[in-house]
């Protein structure tokens, strides 16, 4: 799900976004007495891999070549080539790839 109600969602080249991922540019402020909303852009750089059921919150940039493990919730920026997992997502490793690939599977949007 791409929720671009506020700001933009920028997706680079050769980005692999698996099923049931949610990218939100808008959320409620839990500290607001009036339940106000806050929002910001999301930037997904080239060769990022978002595994299934990843959630990305407003204002996050995911750096080139990063991998986000299944079911992770990304609340902060992810550095290039990092492997992150968990809730909230934390760095668990570094991707070792030359990123020479070009994705060729383009399923229909439903």
Buried-state track 8-37, b at ≥16 Cβ within 10 A, e below 16: eeebeebbebeeebebbbeeeeeeeeeeee
- Cα distance from N-terminal residue to C-terminal residue, the chain: 11
Catalytic residue status for 31: no
SS3 of 12, please?
Answer: coil
* Active-site annotation holder among 28, 35, 36, 105: 28
Q: How far is CA 58 from the centre of its chain?
A: 10
Q: Which residues are catalytic?
A: 28
């Amino acid at each position: 799900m791409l929720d671009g109600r506020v700001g933009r969602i920028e997706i680079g080249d050769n980005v692999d976004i698996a099923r049931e991922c949610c990218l939100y540019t808008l959320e409620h402020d839990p500290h607001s007495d009036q339940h106000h909303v806050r929002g910001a852009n999301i930037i997904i750089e080239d060769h990022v891999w978002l595994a299934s059921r990843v959630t990305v919150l407003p204002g996050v940039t995911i750096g080139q070549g990063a991998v986000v493990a299944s079911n992770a919730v990304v609340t902060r920026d992810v550095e290039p080539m990092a492997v992150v997992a968990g809730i909230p997502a934390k760095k668990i490793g570094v991707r070792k790839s030359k990123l020479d690939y070009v994705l060729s599977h383009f399923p229909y949007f439903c």
